[in-house]
């Protein structure tokens, strides 16, 4: 974090002085209130890494749609990590009903991932897709 410890949303007053750095900061979503661009040093590499993981995750999600044979346990595993990757921790109540076993199983699988960071969930999802589909998405990260 910046040594000034104050962040504000863009637009920022220094944008006219440093257009290239300002455009990078715009991608990050914030700049220091005192025109300190030191904040960009740790943020930009993290954004590149996260974007790369998200791109690989999206490719893996498209590839898994072509998967013909997979056990229910494998499909539930993928479901849990997909939901954790895209939404985060469970934000809905557990489904009820006697004949709603599939929805309950999906909910329970997603709940197991509670507290897992979205980036870590993406990595686990990609590993599972590689295992099931024989792909090598993990090497692209």
C-alpha–C-alpha distance, residues 47 and 57, integer Å: 15
Residues 21 and 50 occupy one common structural domain: no
Q: Is the pTM of this model over 0.75?
A: no
Residues 29 and 67 occupy one common structural domain: no
Residues 77 and 127 occupy one common structural domain: yes
pLDDT tens digits, residue range 112-137?
999 999 999 999 999 999 999 999 88
Going by their DSSP bridges, the two strands 7-9 and 30-32 should be labelled as antiparallel
DSSP 59: H
Confidence of residue 20 (pLDDT cuts 50, 70, 90): very low
The CATH number of whichever domain residue 82 belongs to comes to 1.20.80.10
C-alpha–C-alpha distance, residues 104 and 110, integer Å: 10
Residues 70 and 91 occupy one common structural domain: yes
- 127 Cβ partners below 8 Å, 6+ apart? 138
User: Total domain count for the chain?
Assistant: 2
Residues 54 and 1 occupy one common structural domain: no
Give the domain range for residue 55. Answer: 43-140
Least confident residue range of 43-52, 79-88, 113-122: 43-52
* pLDDT value, residue 51: 56
C-alpha–C-alpha distance, residues 109 and 62, integer Å: 21
């Amino acid at each position: 974090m910046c040594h000034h410890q104050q962040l504000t949303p863009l637009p920022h007053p220094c944008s006219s002085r440093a257009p290239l750095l300002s455009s990078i900061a715009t991608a990050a979503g914030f700049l220091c209130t005192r025109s300190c661009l030191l904040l960009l040093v740790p943020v930009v590499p993290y954004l590149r890494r996260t974007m790369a993981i998200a791109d690989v995750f999206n490719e893996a999600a498209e590839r898994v749609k072509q998967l013909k044979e997979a056990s229910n346990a494998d499909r539930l595993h993928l479901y849990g990590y997909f939901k954790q990757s895209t939404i985060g921790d469970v934000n809905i109540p557990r489904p009820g009903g006697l004949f709603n076993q599939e929805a309950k199983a999906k909910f329970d699988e997603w709940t197991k991932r509670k507290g897992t960071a979205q980036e870590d969930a993406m990595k686990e999802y990609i590993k599972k897709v590689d295992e099931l589909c024989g792909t090598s998405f993990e090497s692209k990260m």
